[in-house]
Amino acid sequence: MVDDLGAGRFDRTGTYVLMLIGLFVAEGLFSGVRNRLMHVAGEWFVLRIRSDAYRSVQRLSLSYFEQNTTGDIMSRLSGDVDAIEDMLVHGTDDILVNAIRFVGITGMLIYLDWRIALAVAQINNCSYCLSAHSYIGKTFALLDEAEIAANRAGGSTDPKADAAVRKAYLGEE
């Protein structure tokens, strides 16, 4: 896409715009479904917690209620349950979204060029990513050890790839 537009070929621009609009629509639909599912699951979980808490409070001795006011007990219960609900509904959602985003970005880097994935893994100081990208680059992209070392250092033995890797590594124009 960038190569087409950079070379002045605008014949595919309509296709690219439609693809982008389709991605935005799909993101909106999936986001709505995800939010609905997370809130339904969260409400179900909160109902279970509140029911268990209610049963626990019912089993407490009368001396407990003489030492603690009802308002304090109810405030503590509702505050704790709300905090748990917020963590479950929004916390797991954020973790899931960020994990999917990480996998997607990594997949895009690998699809675009293994060399860029190696440079970004080196920048992020991710030893697992480095070993995985090095293995995959060596096995599938047939990169040699010198090329992998150059990519990790922010360059390449191939002039065209060198520019892309340097841009990813240093953020150069």
14-38 pLDDT tens trace: 787 888 899 899 989 988 998 888 8
- Which residue type is seen at 149? A
Query: What is the tens place of the pLDDT at every residue in 37-92?
Result: 888 888 888 888 888 888 988 898 888 888 888 888 888 888 888 888 787 777 77
Average pLDDT over residues 108-113: 68
3-state SS of 66-132 is HHCCHHHHHHHHHHHHHHHHHHHHHHHHHHHHHHHHHHHHHHHHHHHCHHHHHHHHHHCCCHHHHHH
Does the reported pTM lie above 0.85? Answer: no
Per-residue CA distances from 164 to 10, 134, 140, 172 (Å): 23, 18, 20, 9
